[in-house]
């Protein structure tokens, strides 16, 4: 029998009936806890000798404290994908308000269902937000089980909105686009970021992080150097309007197309804040905008698909590594579908006439 330190706790490991058993005592790996950890190890062996499975020790841990300890681990785990960690941290912020000091092991599927209801009614969030919240909780509970703060993942007992239900897509109409950018003229950074997004299909963070060195007006290209995947790191041919937006921004001493004294993430927040101001300004004039900046990318994708661009090419332009990822962005209009069916019908009738003439 032996004890060892793993993940900051005392773990036991021993053999019984030629089989190896190991487990986490749930006690911090300090000299003061070593004796108590040894007792837990002995109890586990005695349970096996009596024909029982070792009982996993659950450490009561308040949800707030557990999440506090989880965040540094999650941040290190998602070091290569900081946006994923940021999404998890943001999603768990509402759970912290709801569950507070409830012991982690007492949070079951029923309590999570009540949490879902609270998010949907008190905060009026969409299904996609609830989906993100539940996935973040599931990631947390996987960590909690490993550290013996819980014995099961309650998210397994809860209905999670499906991809189809959760994906929020809004494609701007021509009138909506025109009005939105009229109001956005008062916020130059938002206006120019938006025009580049709707012309190039870039993500907002890709636009605001552009360096002047990424722009080559001679070749007419934009190079996107950072991204989660190789597909996200791509080169795009710029449109005539994008060129007109970029040219004046390439002047000056700053190395950035959208210079800011703040960090990149704060710059995105500034764009979102400007968007909120546009929505508020429009509301005062009786104009309602039910959109977010990311919808400009959705609009680009849909317009490209409607113009006949195949999904493989569209995936490359958007920086996705599979066609499946692209399909959620493409919402073909009813008129475009009618036109496509008329074209197909004409082709079918032409083939039928050709067959009839050969008989």
Digit-coded pLDDT (tens) for 155-170: 988 888 876 555 667 8
Q: What is the CATH number of the domain that holds 196?
A: 1.10.443.10
**Is 347 part of any domain?**
no
**Is 340 part of any domain?**
no
| For range 59-79, the mean pLDDT | 92
Q: Do 77 and 142 share a domain, yes or no?
A: yes
> How many domains are contained in the chain?
3
Q: Do 140 and 256 share a domain, yes or no?
A: no
What pLDDT is stored for residue 26 in this prediction? 67
120: left (phi over 0), alpha (psi -120 to 50) or beta: alpha
What pLDDT is stored for residue 189 in this prediction? 94
Burial class (CB in 10 A: 0-12, 13-18, 19+), 256: middle
Per-residue pLDDT at 262 exceeds 60: no
Per-residue pLDDT at 94 exceeds 70: yes
Give residue 251's pLDDT band: very low, low, confident or very high (50, 70, 90).
Answer: very high
In 150-211, where does DSSP find H-type helix?
Answer: 163-166, 174-184, 188-200, 204-208
**Lowest model confidence (mean pLDDT) among 184-198, 236-250, 315-329:** 315-329
Q: What is the CATH number of the domain that holds 75?
A: 1.10.150
Give residue 358's pLDDT band: very low, low, confident or very high (50, 70, 90).
Answer: confident
Q: Do 12 and 94 share a domain, yes or no?
A: no
Residues ≥6 apart with Cβ < 8 Å to 290: 170
Per-residue pLDDT at 35 exceeds 80: yes
Q: Do 137 and 10 share a domain, yes or no?
A: no
Per-residue pLDDT at 347 exceeds 80: yes
Where is the domain boundary, 132, 166, 200? 166
Domain holding 34, by residue range, is 2-49
Q: Do 184 and 305 share a domain, yes or no?
A: yes
Per-residue pLDDT at 70 exceeds 90: yes
Where is the domain boundary, 166, 186, 214? 166
pTM strictly above 0.85 = no
**Is 341 part of any domain?**
no
Distance CA 116, CA 132 (A): 11
Q: What percent helix, strand, coil does the chain show, rounded to 5?
A: 60, 10, 30
What pLDDT is stored for residue 263 in this prediction? 47
What pLDDT is stored for residue 329 in this prediction? 64
**Is 188 part of any domain?**
yes
What pLDDT is stored for residue 264 in this prediction? 47
**Is 344 part of any domain?**
no
Rounded (10°) angle between helices 127-146 and 63-77: 90
**Is 349 part of any domain?**
no
What pLDDT is stored for residue 122 in this prediction? 81
Q: Do 191 and 264 share a domain, yes or no?
A: yes
What pLDDT is stored for residue 101 in this prediction? 93
**Is 37 part of any domain?**
yes
**Lowest model confidence (mean pLDDT) among 147-151, 199-203, 230-234:** 147-151
Give the angle subtended at the CA of 38 by the CAs of 37 and 40, to the nearest 5°.
65
Q: Do 200 and 266 share a domain, yes or no?
A: yes
Neighbours of 288 (CB within 10 A): 9
| For range 252-269, the mean pLDDT | 74
Distance CA 297, CA 316 (A): 14
Select the more confidently predicted residue: 162 or 66.
66
| For range 41-56, the mean pLDDT | 76
Q: Do 212 and 281 share a domain, yes or no?
A: yes
Residues ≥6 apart with Cβ < 8 Å to 331: 169, 171, 298, 302
Q: Do 8 and 42 share a domain, yes or no?
A: yes
Q: Do 187 and 132 share a domain, yes or no?
A: no
Which of 19-23, 131-135, 161-165, 331-335 has maximum average pLDDT? 131-135
- Mean residue pLDDT of the chain comes to 86
What pLDDT is stored for residue 135 in this prediction? 92
What pLDDT is stored for residue 222 in this prediction? 96
**Is 355 part of any domain?**
no
Give residue 40's pLDDT band: very low, low, confident or very high (50, 70, 90).
Answer: confident
Which of 157-166, 179-188, 302-311, 313-322 has maximum average pLDDT? 179-188
Where is the domain boundary, 166, 198, 213? 166
Per-residue pLDDT at 28 exceeds 80: no
Q: Do 264 and 299 share a domain, yes or no?
A: yes
pLDDT (tens digit, 9 = 90+) per residue, 271-293? 888 999 999 999 999 999 988 89
Q: Do 147 and 250 share a domain, yes or no?
A: no
| For range 192-214, the mean pLDDT | 94
């Amino acid at each position: 029998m032996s004890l060892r330190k793993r993940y900051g706790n005392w773990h036991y490991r021993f053999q019984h009936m030629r089989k190896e058993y190991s487990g986490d005592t749930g006690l911090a790996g300090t000299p003061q806890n070593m004796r108590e950890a040894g007792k837990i190890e002995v109890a586990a062996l005695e349970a096996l000798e009596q024909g029982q499975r070792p009982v996993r020790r659950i450490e009561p841990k308040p949800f707030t404290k557990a999440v506090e300890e989880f965040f540094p681990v999650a941040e290190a785990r998602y070091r290569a994908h900081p946006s994923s960690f940021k999404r998890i941290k943001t999603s768990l912020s509402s759970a912290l308000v709801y569950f507070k000091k409830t012991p982690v092991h007492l949070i079951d599927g029923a309590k999570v269902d009540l949490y879902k209801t609270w998010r949907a009614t008190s905060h009026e969030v969409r299904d996609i937000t609830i989906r993100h919240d539940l996935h973040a909780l599931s990631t947390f509970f996987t960590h909690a089980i490993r550290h013996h703060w819980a014995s099961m993942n309650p998210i397994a007992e809860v209905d999670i909105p499906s991809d189809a239900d959760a994906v929020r897509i809004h494609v701007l109409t021509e009138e909506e686009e025109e009005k939105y950018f009229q109001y956005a003229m008062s916020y130059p950074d938002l206006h120019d970021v938006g025009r580049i997004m709707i012309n190039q299909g870039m993500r907002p963070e890709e636009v605001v992080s552009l360096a002047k060195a990424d722009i080559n007006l001679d070749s007419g290209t934009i190079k996107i150097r950072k991204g989660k995947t190789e597909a996200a790191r791509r080169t795009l041919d710029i449109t005539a309007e994008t060129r007109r937006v970029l040219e004046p921004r390439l002047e000056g001493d700053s190395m950035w197309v959208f210079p800011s004294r703040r960090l990149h993430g704060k710059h995105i927040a500034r764009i979102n804040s400007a968007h909120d101001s546009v929505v508020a300004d429009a509301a005062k004039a009786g104009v309602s905008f039910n959109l977010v900046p990311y919808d400009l990318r959705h609009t680009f994708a849909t317009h490209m698909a409607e113009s006949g661009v195949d999904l493989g090419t569209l995936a490359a332009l958007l920086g996705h590594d599979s066609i499946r990822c692209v399909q959620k962005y493409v919402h073909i209009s009813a008129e475009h579908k009618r036109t496509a069916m008329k074209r197909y019908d004409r082709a079918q009738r032409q083939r039928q006439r050709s067959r009839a003439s050969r008989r």
